[in-house]
Amino acid sequence: MKGVPLLIDTNLLVLFIVGAADREYIPKHKKLTAFTVEDYDVLVEIVSGASEVLVTPNTLTETSNLAAYIGEPARSKVLNVLRTVITNSQERYIPSSSVARRSEFLWLGLTDTALLETAEKDVTLLTTDFNLYNAALAKGAKAFNLNHLRDRYF
């Protein structure tokens, strides 16, 4: 993923933000039970090679809600990292009315369909969501499923 713009889905953005606040929070976080510290390390490696990180307002909203599922003082540290990520990311806006018109909306929902709409040939979508990943590939967009790397360390 060297030097490419990276569009990150909600679950991976939550993992990135929580891990950046403190790697020890990952196994304690209620919304990260599917992830490990090793997943975070791989994610950091991928993100550090990106030319820029792209997000959507929908993803940021979901991330904000999910990232806060941890008690204080961790919650404040996590939301501080989220604030930094928001200010340092490139936000791509697609009107919800446009997103809702896509056929994929019925099975992907608003946030993932907005990601699908934003994914382009010059942008790599990073996800762990199988349906979103396949929809992006079917559209001709570049997509990478982090789960495909898990075989290397599990």
Helix boundaries (H) for the chain: 10-21, 37-48, 57-67, 74-88, 96-101, 105-118, 130-139, 150-153
CB atoms within 10 A of CB 92: 19
Inside any domain, residue 30? yes
What integer best gives the mean pLDDT of the chain?
Answer: 93
Domain of residue 111: give its range. Answer: 5-149
Query: pLDDT, tens digit, for every residue of 62-111?
Result: 999 999 999 999 999 999 999 999 999 999 999 999 999 999 999 999 99
The set of residues, in sequence order, having a beta carbon less than 8 Å from that of 71 and lying 6+ positions away, is: none
Here the CATH number for the domain that contains residue 28 is 3.40.50.1010
Inside any domain, residue 69? yes
Q: Which residue in 79, 89, 92 sits closest to 17, CA to CA?
A: 79
Inside any domain, residue 87? yes
Inside any domain, residue 48? yes
In the block, residue with structure tokens 């904000």: 64
Take residue 45 and report the two structure tokens written for it: 């490696």
Tell me how far apart the alpha carbons of residues 136 and 95 are, in angstroms, rounded to a whole number: 19
Inside any domain, residue 92? yes
Inside any domain, residue 117? yes
Query: pLDDT, tens digit, for every residue of 27-66?
Result: 999 999 999 999 999 999 999 999 999 999 999 999 999 9
Report the domain count for the chain: 1
Inside any domain, residue 154? no
Take residue 69 and report the two structure tokens written for it: 């599922």
